Amino acid sequence: MKDQFIVSGGARLAGIVKVDGAKNSVLKLMAAALLAEGTTTLTNCPEILDVPLMRKVLEGLGCTVDIDGSTVRITTPESLRSDADFGAVRQFRASVCVLGPLTARCGRAKVALPGGDAIGSRPLDMHQSGLEKMGASTRIEHGAVVAEAEGLHGAQIKLDFPSVGATENILTAAVLADGETVLHNAAREPEIVDLCLMLKSMGADIEGEGSSTITIRGVDKLHPTEHSVVGDRIVAGTWAYAAAMTRGDVTVTGIAPRHLHLPLQKLKSAGCDIETYENGFRVKIDKRPAAVDYQTLPFPGFPTDLQPMAIGLSAVAEGTSVITENVFESRFRFVDEMLRLGADAQVDGHHVVIRGQESLSSTHLWSSDIRAGAGLVLSALCADEETTVHDVFHIDRGYPNFVENLQSLGATIERTQEEEY
């Protein structure tokens, strides 16, 4: 039976919430453990559904994976299998990050085309092109991407778009390639920096992480390591926007505020008081927020993963907001659910115009992806009565203890099982 959330509107969120390690980092770090024989230990891991899903992928490749709360230990054998299990891989997008490590370690990788969130097309052409420039041959066959190489070599690679996934797969292949690889127009996200820091602790030679040009000098061998996962800026941003939407007062810890510079600036423009600390920040507002315009862009721009929260805030703000989606073409599916809540929103191509209202009206809602699900719950907190949010397994894939954290901040929300019809 599926779970659902019952959310009562009218709460003002207040208190302290701690974020764990980033979903968008831990899965890639787990894949990077394939690069070195032995046991790699990851700490500060989020307790979300995608971590055991990635364990299934790695175990299918021959690893032993032990999950103990927020600690994950991955023991990688000398000889790996190169075919990633279709059943495990197809369930979530991040599983494609095993492509680079397997090509580097095994000279061959076969990875089922992944599934995951319904937010638009995310092709693998840049992943394939990067590997091909390093000497691999790639193809799509029988629903899988296949890469083969007798030996990878360094190359000059320029991405058409600063794709996070392509940057990660090229990085994890290049660290064991022969010679120097220079990756231009690389993704700059904090999760990329986190991956580079772990690879460097394993013995990789990398320069330029956090900039648009990363230089990787291949080494003969890497060794296992211990690494603490960077804090989840998207979860932290979710709590920040929850505070603004409910006219609350929330302190978020476990995150570097610089990783959320623009989202916090947008909240300041909306009328929030923002205080930043070394390892966290505070968002406080006791009036109706003002409307602000947003456009999603790769880091350091406004994150596409926080777009549903921006829409939710705009729906109850004073004035009209224009939100532009530049990353995923199908992310505005979320707006259809916001219309159920009575939001005044109109989609025009990759823009949505939202006229804010004092409050929303309760109804039944359906999550289509991780961030949309979280955004719907936050919006339901601004509704007049009781809202039911369905398909919440999406939320569980990205938010540890989501219901418990909301309850600790003063929300009235419970997890129940849907009735069978």
Q: In the numeric block, which tokens belong to residue 45?
A: 């891991």
User: What radius of gyration, in Å, describes the C-alpha atoms of the chain?
Assistant: 21
- Is 341 within 8 Å of 366 (Cβ atoms)? no
219 is in an annotated binding site: no
Alpha-carbon distances of 152 from 34, 141, 351, rounded to whole Å: 16, 22, 42
CA atoms of 243 and 13, how far apart (whole Å): 6
Active site residue 232: no
**162 contacts: CB under 8 Å, gap ≥ 6:** 185, 186, 187, 188, 212, 298
In terms of phi and psi (left: phi > 0; alpha: psi -120 to 50; beta: otherwise), the region of 84 is beta
Nearest to 297 by CA among 212, 371, 187, 169: 187
CA atoms of 36 and 14, how far apart (whole Å): 44
Measured from the Cβ of residue 244, the count of other Cβ atoms closer than 10 Å reads 28
CA atoms of 267 and 286, how far apart (whole Å): 13
93 is in an annotated binding site: yes
CA atoms of 98 and 32, how far apart (whole Å): 8
Write phi, then psi, for 207 (nearest 5 degrees). -135, 150
284 is in an annotated binding site: no
CA atoms of 372 and 229, how far apart (whole Å): 24
Catalytic residue among 20, 117, 194, 369: 117
CA atoms of 396 and 3, how far apart (whole Å): 10
Measured from the Cβ of residue 186, the count of other Cβ atoms closer than 10 Å reads 28
Beta pairing class for 249-253 and 14-18: parallel
- Which amino acid, residue 325? E
Catalytic residue list? 117
Which positions make up the binding site for UDP-N-acetyl-alpha-D-glucosamine?
93, 305, 327
Which positions make up the binding site?
23-24, 93, 305, 327
Which positions make up the binding site for phosphoenolpyruvate?
23-24
